[in-house]
Amino acid sequence: MEWNIFSLGDEPPQYDPYGRGYLRWQWGSDFDPIETTARLRLARVLIANDNSNKALEIISESENMSSALHEVKGDAEEKLGLYAEAKLSYLKALESNQSQSVEAILKMKLANLDT
């Protein structure tokens, strides 16, 4: 196992307050919980900083889409005004969700799209 640092430029990675670089732990299996969590958190930071396009790019690079990744993808799409795509992402998140509290939040987000 090894650490790899991916950044957007050719320069050595430096502190990046906007999340343009991130660490990735390489595992021997298809599912990497650390990478998935890193993508999820980075996407949320990017959305909060009005960079939803980059958030969608980070999420789309994920090989395994979890309920949380679908939800954040929907949040980014909703912020970009892509309401049909956001609705589909929220429905996918709802389909693979196992938490009643998250289900309630997803249903509120879906209802909000219809208004």
Burial environment of residue 52 by CB neighbours within 10 A (0 to 12, 13 to 18, 19 or more)? buried
Section 20-46 average pLDDT: 71
List of E strands, 3-107: 3-6, 22-25
Q: How far apart are the first and last CA of the chain?
A: 48
Domain extent listing, the chain? 3-113
Residue 65: pLDDT band (50, 70, 90) is: confident
Residues across the chain: 115
Residue 114: pLDDT band (50, 70, 90) is: confident
Angstrom distance (rounded) from CA 4 to CA 83: 35
Q: What is the pTM of this model?
A: 0.72
Q: What percent of the chain has pLDDT over 90?
A: 56
Hey, which CATH number is domain 3-113, 1.25.40.10, 1.10.357.10, 3.40.50.720, 3.90.1570.10? 1.25.40.10
Angstrom distance (rounded) from CA 38 to CA 107: 25
